[in-house]
Amino acid sequence: MVMGRASAGSLLVALAVLAPAVTAQTCDDELPAQLAGNFSGLACAPVWNNFVLRYAQGRDNVLRVVLSTMYSTGWVGMGFSKNGLMVGSSAMVGWMGKTGLPHIKPFSLGGKTPSQVVADQGFLVSSDHHKPTVLVQQAKIYLAFQLSFTEPLKRQNVLLAFGSAIPVNDRLSEHQDKTSIVFDFTTGSSSSSSSFSEGLKRTHGALNLFAWGVLLPIGAIVARYCRRWDPLWFYLHAGIQFVGFILGLAGIVAGVSLYNKIQADVPAHRGLGIFVLVLGILQILAIFLRPNKDSKYRKFWNWYHHWVGRLALFFAAINIVLGIKVGGAGNSWKIGYGFNLAVLLITIITLEVLLWTRWKNNSGSTGAY
């Protein structure tokens, strides 16, 4: 069994059990005799429904864990994440096979589809003191293992979930339900975390998609194709861009808060976001430095303003697509933004053709005299 190195960053725990509980598990239940020797003296805390977590940390930063719950069939897993998300994490997963043989393996959770959850891979380091063990006794499953970390675990994000079938050829079924908590390994306390983080992620995505993907492109369209209605086009352009920038800035603030909470490892998305924000700020500052219409520098300012704005919108569109991907958004986000992008592109192409046709006709009329 091959495992990689784990950091003491955020802890993601993925758990699964399929059968309904017969009696609720408590910390008063004794461990099976097979586990009592290597896993004695553990602290205990109920974590979710019938899931009970027993744990202890040694001075050598070895975490001993026994995770138990009511069980009939299915799989149970405990995963660790560097950023609080399922994607990119590693997990220890155990189950009883159809022939009654116990199984426990490390898994790399590279994505949300079964094909991206790969057995015998990941960054976890198993302690040399005890091999991972799975036991089923009196309709309860016990997942026991020891992992080495670089430093003691403190407050960690813990995700709880369950699937629906016994793994076949080490292929895990998708979970049926999940929840998320922040577990403090120093005090044994826990608090809910998934609803807030998910809400913050949706807010970040919705604000930035509406600002950079809808409002700001519309403001740019007004500036290029509606100049015949002077000065109305200018006030519409300035007003739409200002509102779009404020909403985009609010979305970025939500993104920073989300990053500080879960420490998401998304350098490309984060870097592009910072770059687009800088371009947006430069556009706002350019308004206060705009030369008069009769200034010899006005044409250079126009070139700057037009192309920096287009560059910002181009990279913003790329970053929206990237954000939808790394954020694990559903098909509704993909279809919605794809439809919005298609409408914008069709509108721009149509207006551009009309604009060039009008310029060509005007040039032809001027040359006839």
Decide if 189 contacts 182 (C-beta within 8 A). Answer: no
Domain that holds residue 138: 33-192
Is residue 204 marked as binding?
yes
Residue with tokens 């310029």: 359
Decide if 79 contacts 12 (C-beta within 8 A). Answer: yes
Supply the pLDDT for residue 24: 63
Q: Does 325 lie in the same domain as 215?
A: yes
C-alpha 132 chain-centroid distance: 30
| Mean pLDDT calculated for residue range 86-93 | 83
pLDDT, mean over the chain? 84
Supply the pLDDT for residue 341: 95
Beta strands in the chain (DSSP E): 43-48, 51-57, 62-70, 75-80, 89-96, 102-109, 117-119, 133-137, 140-148, 155-162, 177-184, 190-192
Q: Does 288 lie in the same domain as 188?
A: no
Q: How many domains does the chain have?
A: 2
* 127: three-class secondary structure by DSSP: coil
Q: Does 255 lie in the same domain as 174?
A: no
Q: Does 163 lie in the same domain as 204?
A: no
Supply the pLDDT for residue 364: 63
- Long-range Cβ pairs for the range 173-182 (8 Å, 24+): 173/75, 173/114, 174/112, 174/114, 175/14, 175/16, 176/18, 178/14, 179/48, 181/47, 181/48, 181/157, 182/155, 182/156, 182/157, 182/158
One-letter amino acid at 62 equals V
Is residue 269 marked as binding?
yes
Final residue belonging to a domain, choices 192, 227, 254 = 192
Q: Residue 170: give its domain's CATH number.
A: 2.60.40.1210
Q: Does 231 lie in the same domain as 182?
A: no
pTM of the model: 0.58
Is residue 306 marked as binding?
no
Q: Does 199 lie in the same domain as 177?
A: no
> What residues does 178 pair with on adjacent strands?
161
Of 162, 132, 157, 144, which is closest to residue 21 (Cα–Cα)? 162
pLDDT per position as a tens digit, 244-303: 999 999 999 999 988 877 667 788 999 999 999 999 999 989 888 888 888 888 889 999
Q: Residue 217: give its domain's CATH number.
A: 1.20.120.1770
Is residue 130 marked as binding?
no
